[in-house]
Amino acid sequence: MFFKQIVTPGLGCFSYVIGCPGAREMVVVDPKRDVQDYLDISRDQGMRISHVIDTHVHADHVSGNQELASRVGCDIMMYATSPVEFPFTKLSEGDTLEIGNARLEVLHTPGHTPDALSLLVTDKSRGDEPWMILTGDVLFVGDIGRPDLVGEAKLDEQIDNLYNSLYGKLAKYPDYLEVFPAHGMGSLCGKGMSSKPSSTLGFERRHNPMLGFPDRKAFHHAMSQDFPARPKSFTHIIGTNAHGAPLLERCPLDRAMEPAQFESRILDGAVVVDVRDAAAFSGFHIPGSLNIGFEPSLANWVGMVVDPKSDLLLVVDSKEDYDRMTTELHRIGYDNIHGYLTGGIMAWVYSGRPVDRLSQITAQLFKGMMDDGEAKSIVDVRTPAEVQGGGIPGAVHIPLADILEGKHDLPEDGSHVLYCATGYRSNIAASYLQRHGFWNVQALAGGFLAWSRAGYPTK
């Protein structure tokens, strides 16, 4: 049996290839939208992609099922009641798919979504018992899937489903069964996922805190608490996956724009996303642009900040960065990308067009201003869990998600210094506020990390 886990950096998504070289056939489970990795494996291993299986209708990334079906004519398979609008082969509890020496058996494991499935995988060349289980989003390494994405009206039902799947159905299987989930660290489909990409049922039973509740009531209480912020992109991604994602362009155009054309699109309402680092963006940037710098979790932050139906323009340092960015955006369903500024920000500057600055203030300078009694509003944009570990004295806590949703009473004419853990999120927040009329905002360079390492007081 051939088995391979494929990691999508940043989104924390795992997809899988399971096949049999002898049978020259393979299946792809939970594919990402850009499918070249699977096509490469198919070619290199001499195995035809015969099936693609989605364990559920994903909320955090666009499935590659339509892309693969278009490219190789494979069969799309999902749980029988999956709410999608394209043809697919319906899978039910107990169904099996035989691919040479590989056997896949379907388990219905609702909880993250009502129509989720897991796959028991057996390598018949080694034995007749399942070797591993692909758990989709019901069980992660160190966590479990969040049940709230289908809406408040069905939350209690989903929590009960999740309990039944984890404490009932999966409890029947042995400790040695290897666990391969659809997500790992970086995903917003859970709270505290491990960086380790796989585990065993036995280890999770002993060390996963979400599997240690004494009864259904205790589990229900814990799962009724706060969940990670839901990005703007999730509803759009769910809809895209339910309808069937549009096919990606086979030969993307080089959409390089001169400043005049770029400016014209801005005047038509396009959103400018500047992916340079915080220091470069702070030096000068196009007025109204948002700073979401390249880092592994970039796609998650775009999903939090930008409406997925927006027309987008990108400020990048190179064509290579533009290609990387479009791949990241396509993975989360942001397809209205109109192009990038050819020549980068300097082309805009040399054209004589106006620029803005976003002040970065160092920990040393900020501490001196505080000691001198200069009035500054200090805003901590980290998560509640991070704040419990300490912060800057006098800071008001407004999580980034609340700033993006307008859930704050910061005065537009006030003087605000924003900080996060390292400066990345505070620059997102500051650029967002600046775009919405806050003219005197600053970001603490290096964030709380720089402040604490400088030896300054914390609370």
Residues identified as active-site: 420
Rounded Cα distance, 77 and 166, in Å:
23
Angle between helices 65-72 and 36-45 (to 10 degrees): 40
Neighbouring CB atoms inside 10 A of 327's CB total: 15
Return the closest-CA partner of residue 358 out of 293, 410, 303.
293
Report the C-alpha dihedral over residues 338, 342, 345, 348, rounded to 10 degrees.
Answer: -90
Secondary structure string (H, E, C) spanning the chain: CEEEEEEECCCCEEEEEEEECCCCEEEEECCCCCCHHHHHHHHHHCCEEEEEECCCCCCCCCCCHHHHHHHHCCEEEEECCCCCCCCCEEECCCCEEEECCEEEEEEECCCCCCCCEEEEEEECCCCCCCCEEEEECCECCCCECCCCCCCHHHHHHHHHHHHHHHHHHHHHCCCCCEEEECECCCCCCCCCCCCCCCEEHHHHHHHCHHHCCCCHHHHHHHHCCCCCCCCCHHHHHHHHHHHCCCCCCCCCCCCEECHHHHHHHHHCCCEEEECCCHHHHHHCECCCCEECCCCCCHHHHHHHHCCCCCCEEEECCCHHHHHHHHHHHHHCCCCCEEEEECCHHHHHHHCCCCCECCEEECHHHHHHHHHCCCCCEEEECCCHHHHCCCCCCCCEECCHHHHHCCCCCCCCCCCEEEECCCCHHHHHHHHHHHHCCCCCEEEECCHHHHHHHCCCCCC
